[in-house]
Amino acid sequence: MYEYARNIIINLFKSQSIARETAKILHDLSKTILNFSYHYRLS
């Protein structure tokens, strides 16, 4: 039972860090796309 609860907690932390990484990647990606479209419009 303890092992089961521990695995759930570990998976929770893992999925939270994965979510944070994904959010960071999406943020960087959207910034890149915005910069690209901005430069594209200017030229």
| Residue 1: per-residue pLDDT | 78
Q: Per-residue pLDDT tens for 6-38?
A: 999 999 999 999 999 999 999 999 999 999 988
SS3 category, 1: coil
Distances (CA, A) of 40 to 8, 26, 28, 33, 34: 47, 21, 18, 10, 10
Question: What pLDDT score does 40 carry?
Answer: 83
Return the pLDDT at 27.
96
pLDDT at 38: 86
CA distance 23 to 17: 10
Query: What is the domain range of residue 35?
Result: 1-42
Domain count within the chain: 1
Residues in the chain: 43
Query: Is residue 42 over pLDDT 80?
Result: no
CB atoms within 10 A of CB 9: 10
